[in-house]
């Protein structure tokens, strides 16, 4: 949590969770989907179990299906 707050969503800085389609930062259109992957943890400041989620504005460009182990997107056909 603190790492994302301080450094952003740069996947190179934040572990190797959720790499089914390669290393990267993953975003979803619906928060209910992302909530499935947010583990509950004790927040010592609040002294209770909580889940945290970031609301991000994401600009989407070209996309393609990745695969586990990718560090870079695959080359696009015809260019």
pTM: 0.57
- Burial class, 54, CB count within 10 angstroms (exposed 0-12 / middle 13-18 / buried 19+): exposed
pLDDT confidence of residue 47 = 94
27-71: pLDDT as tens digits: 888 989 888 888 888 999 999 999 888 888 888 887 777 788 877
What's the token pair of residue 34? 């992302």
d(CA 34, CA 30): 7
d(CA 56, CA 47): 27
1-21: pLDDT as tens digits: 777 788 777 777 655 666 777
């Amino acid at each position: 949590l603190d790492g994302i707050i301080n450094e952003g969503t740069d996947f190179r800085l934040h572990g190797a969770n959720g790499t089914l389609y390669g290393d990267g930062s993953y975003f979803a259109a619906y928060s209910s989907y992302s909530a499935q992957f947010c583990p509950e943890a004790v927040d010592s400041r609040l002294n209770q179990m909580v889940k945290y989620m970031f609301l991000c504005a994401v600009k989407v460009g070209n996309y393609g299906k990745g695969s586990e182990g990718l560090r870079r997107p695959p080359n696009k056909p015809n260019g």
